[in-house]
Chains A and B, each alone.
Chain A
Amino acid sequence: MSGMNLTIKKTRRAHVARLIAAVASATVAVSSLGVLSSSAATHSVPTILLYNAQGYGDKVAAAFNATNPGFKIVVDDDSTGPLFTKIQAEMAAGTPKWGMFWADGATEFAALDKLGYLVRYSIPKTATYNASGLTNVPADRSFAPTGLTVTGALCYDSVAARGITLPTTMAGLTALPKAALGMNNPSQSGPTFPLIAGVMAHLGGITYKENPTTAQVNAAIKKGEAFYLALKKNGLQVHDTNGPTLGAMESNPATLDMATIQSSACYGDINASPKSYWPTGKVKYLDYSVALPSNIAIDAKLSPALQADAEKFVAFVTSPKGQLAMQKGDPYGDGLFWPVIKGVNPEKFLPSYASTRAYAINPFVWGPLENQINTWFTNNIIN
């Protein structure tokens, strides 16, 4: 009899357990339906998809959406590389989803413009660019500069570099102690190709205004290659992106003394709040650095109505109000840029833009050479 009771109890327990398991499984299954319903969610107003690689992009879009109820900017945050790949794949397939693209650098925008993917003359007349901003406005106004940083600033750890005489020129980098210098990989780091192109352009004497001949460009490339081969011979360290390069300088013991990278990345770590990530970090400008404008552009395949809406967003980010929203959106990261609009001051941590001696490159000359130069760099400097 007791054996029978035990069996009944076990059976009941098993039934209860199965019931609980079934209820739990059903609850999880029903709640996971949310992931599908989110896809079906529709917006009550037209939307424009902003492919955004800027740290402040979503904050700026939110500020804009709050005062522009007629349509909505939806932000797709990612790194420049994946976003640029998606744009090209979408264009190849024929039904682009992107509406605007916002990232650092001008060469990728020039590449998109050459393919006819961008709305031309999209920069609003209301944009009151300052002198450094105007330098980076393309002739066909197919993309709008929204801020300036520079790449090729010499960031260094003052403890690790103690005893080393810092160079004053870019050419002087080749005379540094062996393996003291580092930089990023142009295939991985968006701001690095503009640096290499800028060095080549400077060595070849090609300014952003010039329309050089092929022979002039090839001569500049040869000089640039010789420069980077000399750096390699001197133990140049190449890390993927700003993060690992800064990490190598900030580690203890530092495995890298100094690097030519994007200045805003160095300022971000040095001036981080509430506590500096890199109290021993310093930035020095050589005889020139390379201008790295951030840009925004509009998809040429957007409907005319949405293009007009997108232009309102471009007008916002090229207004003083928009520039301030960008600074506040990521105050210790991408917000550390030099404004391109008159009447807006940079963050207090930044020196004057003139002190960077920024050298601008023509993205339409150098953009098409990006694959060629990056491949050469991979084959000859990295490997």
Chain B
Amino acid sequence: MTTTLSLSTTRPRANLDWLRRLRWSGLLVWLVLALLIVVPVLTFVAVAVSPRLFHQGSSYFTLANIATAFQGYTGQGILDSLWVSVLTGLASVAFATTIAWIVQRTNVYGRRVWSGAMWLLLLVPTWMTTLGWIDVISPGELAWALGVHTLFFYHMFFGASGIVFVNMTASLPFSFFVISVGLRGLGSEFEDAARVHGAGRWLTMRTILPIIAPALLSAFVISFAETMSDFGVAFTLGANAHFPIATYTLFNAIYAFPANFPVAAVIAGVLILCTVPPVFVQSRVMRGRSYAVLSGRTRAVRRHHFGPVGRLALTAGVGLFMFLVIGLPLVGAISSSFTNTASFITSSGVHWTLQSFKDVFQPLPSYTTLGGPLWTSNQLGLWVASGTLVLAYVLARRMASRSPGVGQKIADVFLLGSIAIPGIVLGVGYIFFYDQRFITSHVVDLYETMPLLIMGLIASSVPSQARLLTGPVSQIQSSLNEAARVHGANKWRAFSSTSFPLLSRALVWAWLITFTKTISELAIAQILYQPGHEPASVVIETYLGTIFASIGSAATVITLAEMIGVIGIVLLIFRLVTPAGWRRIGEAGSYS
């Protein structure tokens, strides 16, 4: 009775608070998004129809560049990118759901190993996966040394199948983590309820999967957009694949002599627009439904127990799959780093040496040592990951809202569109906007400084991280927070005692993903880095593009090892500073 009275008397004030908060927080979020993404990207895309604005032609308005972009090679590239992205998204979600279910819900051996392998896969940029594969299947490389003639796979790899495969392996961990979080938050009670009502395995699965629809759709949409924008595959496979994709044609337009910014802008605009249909489908599917399953009463999940033979077979299957997607390219890159010859096998056999690792830190006269750039990348990673986490959480909360306004919907579409923007476009867009005379003279001169690079990297990370966090955030029932507020907790106390513990693991993961992705990011870094402060990725790329690729492989191996070290330290700190209960939320257990 007391509670009822209290609620009824505070409701009008609460409404006013909500309105006041919405106005300011909404404006602030849009301002940040505008400065980070909207304005620089629109500035660049505007060149497509108004080249004269940026001294790129004589017309203030023309559609000629749009017509050009849809013709011949560039037009084919756009079509190819579309079907490659759809196929990659579907394959990625299918494989990720299967692996996530096996890891989260069965007694497969080495669950931590498979999750760790996904982490490793996430850390490895697509350009490195591609080069790892080339180190395995190219003539004269690892497979040939083992007596396996891989010329057929070599030719297949440099084609559509290679592009789809590498993109699928790159999207797999994104999908795996999103779906894993969804499965973790899904207690066994739903499965039990279905089984109690007589459902078989297939029907139980059909009942359960729609509950994690936000995670599945998020995984598909992110995979689709990431593939649309992926620069690494375009950079490494695109040129020789005899199969044009949009990011490669865009890269060609920007790096042409002279640069064809208007056509590049059209392709960038198309990439953004291509993400609208998947978001629309996602929105239609999720409209008016609640997927909030995490609450104070969520129970630990129960694993499916296979018999000894089934368990071994399942483990072998997962092991083989993971070896193919991550083990083999890594073995290729690592084996290459322990040689210092143009190919793995030479006329006098294989020459094992640590020379490439030595050359990383005592480089040739015209090359840069890795030490300084790696430290710079770590510093950048810290800033970018922390900034991204805050902004991505705020956006995830807005997108998880059950009654989204027009602003949220636009933000949703635009964020996804931003995932589909290749880093190179964001980088050039930043120059186009932040190097404008009225900004450099009257506001702030940020171009070729670390803060602008940090902003660019945050802009490229926020969209995917916001969508990754949307799944976990949407699963938290608002009643938890409301209960805390009713019991007198202020906003911060309510958040820190309800949502924060439930989200802590997802937040730590999001931070780590951003940190590692920042270290391996190449496209934005190459355009916006401060002269004299090259990040590690730029230095590694310099090596990989030359005959000294083995030194580049050694530098990549060192960078990966360092990233894994940071992940270990952060997870250790998380373990030390958080109560044990935080880490058990959503964990699978056999006791329930």
Contacts and interface: CB of A to CB of B under 8 A. Distances in A.
A188 B532 contact: no
A378 B77 CA distance: 13
Contact of A159 (B56, B140, B347, B544): B347
B257 A193 contact: yes
A21 B256 CA distance: 50
B447 A95 contact: yes
B147 interface: no
Interface string B412-452: 00000000000000001001111111001100010111110
B590 interface: no
A329 B435 contact: no
Interface string A124-144: 000000000000000000000
Contacts of B533: 35, 38
A17 B242 CA distance: 56
A88 B259 contact: yes
A239 interface: yes
A225 interface: no
B259 A84 contact: yes
B307 interface: no
A198 to B, nearest CB: 15
Residue among B382, B437, B449, B533 facing the most chain A CB atoms (10 A cut-off): B382
B255 A187 contact: yes
A333 B364 contact: yes
Contacts of A84: 255, 257, 259
A371 B242 contact: no
Chain A interface extent, by class: 35 or more
Contacts of B451: 36, 39
Interface in B537-581: 538, 542, 544-549, 573, 576-577
A18 B577 contact: yes
A188 B239 contact: yes
B252 interface: yes
Interface string B499-527: 00000000000000000000000000011
Interface residues of B, number: 76
Contacts of B454: 35
A85 B527 contact: yes
Contact of B342 (A55, A251, A333): A251
A71 to B, nearest CB: 15
Contacts of B54: 92-93
B55 A92 contact: yes
Nearest to A331: B365
B534 interface: yes
B204 interface: no
Interface in B126-148: 138-141, 144
A263 interface: no
B470 interface: no
Contacts of A269: 547
A79 B435 CA distance: 21
Interface stretch (A25-33, A284-292, A349-357): A25-33
Interface string A250-279: 111111000000000100110000000110
A357 to B, nearest CB: 26
Interface in B447-485: 447-451, 454
A189 B435 CA distance: 28
Given A32-B379, A251-B140, A371 B258 contact: yes
Contacts of B72: 379
B435 A252 contact: no
11 contacts: A32-B383, A75-B531, A77-B368, A93-B437, A240-B545, A246-B547, A253-B139, A253-B144, A269-B547, A277-B547, A333-B366
